[in-house]
Structure formats: C-alpha cells, structure tokens
Chains A and B, each alone.
Chain A
C-alpha cells in the first residue's frame, strides 16, 4: 500500500537542507508520494527509513514467478477482492500432481498427455502450467527418479512436495540448476527448507494450520532472506478453504498485512466435496495463485481452463471481435446472411457451429459494443437500426443476390422494424441458440 506524503515526511530527516533539490523535506515527500522523485536524491535518509519506504512500495501481495525452460508463470500482485472493482491480473497456475510411488511408465504417460494438452476456447489455445511431484514414498531416491521421469516428459515448471529436507534436497539435485516451487516449510522444518530455497534461488511454500502459525512462519523465513513465499493455509475442505483464502486476501489488501502478503497454493483432491473440479473452481475464483489437481483428465481440465479465462477477463473490456461480414465455408451470393453480435463468445459459438456443419453462409457481425445478443438487446445496443447500419456499412447487398437475413431467435421482436429499415430484404427468425443453427439452416433455409 502506498504511503501518503505526510507518512513519508515523518520518515525523512526533516532538516530542510535542500540537498535533494527541493526546498523542504515535505515538498520532497510529496514528490515521492506522487512517484515523481527518487528516494536516492536525499543523501541523509536513515537506513531504517529506507527499508520502511521500500517495503511500503512493495505490492500488498507479492508477485511470485515460477520458471522453467521457456515457460513462465507469474502469480500474486492482485489488487482487488472483487473482479468488478478492477480486474484480477495474474491467472493462477494449474498443476497436475504425480506421486513418486506411481510406476515410472504411468508418470511418463500422464505427464506427456497433460503436457501436450491444448484446447481451443474462443480462438485461444489454453494449456496447463506444470506438475507437482509429491514424495509419497519418503525415499530420496524414489523422489529424485520420479522428478527425472517428469522432467523427461515435460519442460514445464515444477512444484516439489515433501516435508523432509533430505528428501527435498535429493529432489532438487535431480533438476540441478532449476528453481522449482519448494513445498514446503512448516513449523518443524522451516530452517532447513529456507536454506534449500536460498541455495536454489527457489520460491518456498509455507504451511501453517492456522493464520497465526502461518504469519509467524513467514516472518521468520523472511529474516533468512528468502522473499518469494507462497502460502498453504492447510484447509483441504471447501468451506474452510474459502474462509481462509478470503481472510488472507482481505488481510493483505485491506490491512496491508505483510506476513500474509503472498500468493496462495490450493490443493484440489479427488476426495474433495463435489469432486476435485469443484474445489479447483473455487480456488480459481477465490484467490488462489497455484492450484494443484490430483489427476489429469481433459473433461475436468477443459472446464477449469475456461473458468480461469472467464474469471480473469477484464470486466471493463469485454472480449470482442471485429464487426465485419465474415465468410464461412466459401458462401455464394445465394447463401443466407446470419446476423449476430461482436461479443467474442457469441461470435465463436455461431461461427463454430456453422463451420462444422459445412453449410456456407455469410456471418454479419454487428457492433453491439462487445455484448451478447440478449444483453446487447436489453441495453439497446443491438436493434434494427444498428443491424441495418451494418448491412449498409459492410455493403452486404453487393455480395448477395438473394437478400435473406437470419436474426437470432432471441431478438425475433426486431423483425418488423428491420423489414422497414431494409426494404427488399427477407427477414427470417432463426433459433435462439447457436447449437441449433445447422438444423435450422438445413430445414428452414
């Protein structure tokens, strides 16, 4: 949380010596608060004040980066509790857990499948972020070879899970030179784990079974010089995790509470109430920075990747496509003109349906300020006038010989007005949902 000019002034020498180039310490403080001056311009400021000022300049939730060979995931640095207040910035990393007790072939197969998994959603290719390898065996050798097996199948960032520093050290040696997330430090092992984090320049997850314990641990670990911390609040059930995650986010944002100003790691177990997808979905919407899934399955991962996109969309900027006349499956002048809005989800639903049906059509994307058909209609952004404007603006009449316009079923009420706006055009009412378009086009057009 940024300090005010007055707060900064209290930390300055208050001698008004002018060495900084400003007439008074207060004037300099005001410039600092406005980020128009650098603290280094004052040669007299104490070390203690420097430390306080630089800590105050840090974001309330630390940005933690996890890297590996060309892949990078940044989490933290969030500024709001509710996405409508501004937006959520750094999408949580989705990781798949593997255990060192699983047979090596199974590990390789699952990791290879998850690593290469890519799914298209509204024109974006979505994928997972990495793997969490857990030392279930307790054996350093088994842990190291499981990590090597994962690394052989994927270059993505890793999370290493063990509470035993000796086991963790063996794991880290298996991928020497890398800085995976070490998971993690607890009340018993924190010194040794912090030392490993320091040696490997790796971020460190800290486990506390209460917020008191967690805050105490992070403060102690910070003193060792390890700064990139991640919080594991220990709650594994839905309700308790929701409360803990909310409390941590509020403490960090509303009170600038430094001991808990770090991203959260959440574990979505297969035995979670409602299933691992429910637990992971909650973690995505409610403040997690890393989400560890128990297993990989496309039917679980796809909905979660989509949810992550949805929640992290900028609410002030709906994702839009360019209003234009789009050609689908090489339409001829006799083919119908389908009308929709420029909200990207709407556009892609319609375009995908028509494209996969193989039926040729013109798709007239009207500027509805990035809203879906119903929302735009209710807001007065998708009416007969705007549609007629698009028809004229994109010279649709020059492209088609048969003037047929198909309206989305949700705005059937516009057909009368549109007939008046566009004399000579045949206005048809199509289905409400994109999924029903191919059948409609086959039967009714």
Chain B
C-alpha cells in the first residue's frame, strides 16, 4: 500500500551564521564553524536538506573552577588549571569550537581584571585554532568591562560574545559591532522575550548574521521541558517566517546538567541513582540530545565522554536516509 508521506513546506528559514575568521578573513582561526540554514524541523531530511550540522562546544574556564564537579576536574586534570592547556585538551577531546567562560574573581578572590581576561582569551586563541565564544561571568558590570577589553584585543576574530540579556546588552553589542564579533542573546525560556531582545540588538545595527540566540534551558529533571518547548516554538516561528526568531540557537546543557545534584555529586545520594560517572554523563548527554532534537544548533558541554556520545548521535541524525 503506497503511503503518501506528508511534507511540511515552510516559508521561512534559519539564518546561516559563521563563527571565527581565518587569516584570509582577518582573524587567526585555523577553521570556521557555520551553523543554521535549516528549512525544516530538525533532521527531517526528507523535507529539506539540513545544510550545516549542529556543533559541539566545550566549555573551559580562565582558571581552575571552584564549583565544578570533582568528576569534571578529575577528568580534565592539570589542564583545567591553565586556559591554554585546557583549550588544547578540549580540541583533542573533539570539540568543534570552544567556550571560554570568564570567572568573576581570580584564584586570589580579587575581581578578574580586564588584563587577565584578555590574557586568557589570547592564550586560548594561541593554543587552539578553533573558533571561540567568550562568556562573561554573568554580572552586568563585570561582563561589560571584561568583554569590552576582550573584544578590542581580539578584533577581527569573529568571536561570539556573551551574554547579552535584556538589562545588559548595549555595551556588548557595541563592542561586537566595533570589533567584528558576534553576540549571543540570552533570555529566560520565553518566546516573546527572545524575540524582543533580538529586536533590541538588531536595532543597534548589528548585522543579523552576527546574532546567536540562547533561549536558556533547564537540565533534565530541572525544567528541561520548558526549554524544550520554547525551542520548538522558536524554531516553528522561524520556519513560519518570523524574522526575529530566525537565529541559530545555542544552549548550555553542560552548565545546566552539571549543576544538577544527579551529575554534580557522588556522595550522600540515593542508591537508586546508580553509578555516579555514568549517571552524570547520561544526564549531560540526554539533556543535550533532547535539546538538539528541539532545534539546538550549538550545544555547550563539559565532559569529553558526553562530547563523544553527542557526536555519535549527531553523526547518525545527520546521515539518516533522505528517503526514509
């Protein structure tokens, strides 16, 4: 019985965005990463070709983090004490690009200085040829001073600077504008807030091919369903032609999963939770894959084994037979 398979035809498409610039393009990256361009829902290859595969970023810090799970610190070992070694290790672990997350304070407890942030970013750029995303510590004032300094010192590299939020985006967008970088726009799991921030940022004159949006998510067990549905709605809106939702989506399942108790700690937890390491990696991997299937273009992870598993999943999702 021949089955007539319905195909969705969408008027809209996600924008194509390239991170990183090679020497020929004014930067120093060994290669660039391009994401976006979807004309159908994720991995529905029988409806439209998915021109770019989703990519995996590994998150590294400017110094050894105080609050990361011992599992992660053990895995990265000494590399986690030095951003350049960490960048190399992350590249070797299979990352497509890197996220350098700046700390609020140095190891001495003093606020991170712009000079230290610039030094960390430059060390990472020198150690690895991968495109780079730089996140501020997440406090408006620190984000602005540190990211401005980093943006100026890395002009032309097409970094993505984060995090732009509705209360704090002007300085970062201006820094990106002046120095040929991109921005990531983060909103707390809400379709309209995401659109609004994208409008505010584009109103400042930043070209639309330099905006990534981070709709935020919760980890598995901690609100993933909100992020999941907001991402599905944003992607549907993009395909329906809503220009202010047509940006590739970046999400941070690594950050979210590893703050969940299920991943973070191994002691004083119920026996029914099972083996700690496997549970933690499964927590991160399932959070990431579930979000990839709701439309994520960039997932930011923390553990190398999760990278391996998520990559295997993406490989398979991308090579599914077109006529299936």
Which A residues fall within an 8 A CB radius of B? 82-84, 117-121, 211-212, 215-216, 219, 235, 237-240, 242-244, 246-247, 250-251, 254-255, 257, 259-260, 273-275, 277-278, 281-282, 285-286, 297-304, 306-307, 310-311, 313, 315, 343, 345, 349, 352-353, 356, 372, 374-375, 378-379, 433-436
Total of A-B residue pairs, C-beta within 8 Å: 189
Cβ B229 vs Cβ A299 within 8 A: no
| Residues B45 and A243 in contact, CB atoms below 8 Å apart | yes
Q: How far is the CB of A442 from chain B (nearest CB, A)?
A: 14
Q: Of B221, B274, B315, which one neighbours A297 at CB under 8 angstroms?
A: B274
Whether A255 and B273, one on each chain, are in contact in the complex, defined by CB atoms closer than 8 angstroms, is: no
Q: With an 8 A cutoff between CB atoms, is B43 at the interface?
A: yes
B140 vs chain A, min Cβ distance (A): 10
Given contacts A216-B1, A282-B289, A315 and B229 within 8 Å (CB-CB): yes
Tell me the chain B residues, 1-47 only, with Cβ under 8 Å from chain A: 1-3, 5-6, 41, 43-46
Question: In the complex, are the beta carbons of B265 and A435 less than 8 A apart?
Answer: yes
CA distance A303 to B290 in the complex (A): 12
Residue B75 is within 8 A (CB to CB) of chain A in the complex: no
B262 within 8 A of A: yes
Asked if B221 contacts A274 (CB within 8 A), the reply is no
Q: Which residues of A contact B110 (CB under 8 A)?
A: none
CB < 8 Å neighbour of B285 from A277, A298, A374, A434: A277
A211 adjacent to B3 (CB under 8 Å): yes
The answer to whether residues A299 and B279 also contact, given A83-B225, A310-B225, A435-B265 and a CB cut-off of 8 A, is: yes
- Complex contact A274–B273 (CB within 8 A): no
Complex interface residues of chain B between 180 and 236 (CB less than 8 A to chain A): 187-190, 193, 218, 220-226, 228-229, 232-233, 236
A-B contacts besides A82-B229, A242-B320, 17 pairs, CB < 8 Å: A84-B232, A242-B43, A246-B44, A274-B313, A275-B282, A278-B286, A281-B286, A282-B289, A297-B274, A298-B273, A299-B274, A299-B278, A349-B261, A375-B188, A378-B190, A378-B193, A435-B259
Q: Collect the chain A residues with CB atoms within 8 Å of residue B225's CB.
A: 83, 310-311, 313, 315
Centre residue among A117, A310, A378 by max chain B CB count within 10 A: A310
- Chain B residues positioned under 8 Å from A237 (CB to CB): 316, 320
Cross-interface CB contact of B286 among A243, A255, A307, cutoff 8 Å: A307
The answer on a CB contact under 8 Å between A374 and B188 is yes
With a 10 A CB-CB cut-off, give which of A244, A277, A303, A434 has the most chain B CB atoms: A303
Query: In the complex, what distance in Å separates the CA atom of A251 from the CA atom of B289?
Result: 25
Find chain B residues with CB under 8 A from A118 CB: 272
A120 cross-chain contacts in B, Cβ below 8 A: 270, 272
Instruction: Count chain B CB atoms within 10 A of each CB in A299, A307, A349 and give the residue with the most.
Output: A299
Contact with A along B47-78 (1 / 0, CB 8 A): 00000000000000000000100000000000
- A278 near B6 with CB under 8 A, answer no
Q: Would you call A251 and B6 a contact (CB within 8 A)? A: yes
- Is B317 an interface residue, CB under 8 A from the partner? yes
Provide the B232-266 mask, 1 if CB < 8 A to any CB of A, else 0.
11001000000000000000000000011110110
Closest to A279 in B: B313
Q: Are A372 and B270 interface neighbours, CB within 8 A?
A: no
- Which residues from B are CB-within-8-Å of A313? 225
List which B277-324 residues lie within 8 A (CB) of chain A.
Answer: 278-279, 282-283, 285-286, 289-290, 293-294, 309-310, 312-313, 315-321, 324
Contact between B320 and A307 (Cβ–Cβ < 8 Å)? no
* Cβ-closest chain A residue relative to B289: A278
Bound together, the chains give a CA A354 to CA B237 distance in angstroms of: 42
Nearest CB in chain A: distance from B187 CB, A:
8
- Please judge, given known A-B contacts A120-B270, A310-B220, whether A219 and B1 are in contact too, CB under 8 Å: yes
Q: Is the CB of B285 within 8 A of A302?
A: no
Question: Are B233 and A84 neighbours in the complex by a CB distance under 8 Å?
Answer: yes
Q: Are B229 and A83 in contact (CB under 8 A)?
A: yes
Q: Report yes or no: A239 in contact with B259, Cβ–Cβ below 8 A.
A: no
Q: Which of A260, A356, A372, A436 is within 8 Å of B268, CB to CB?
A: A356
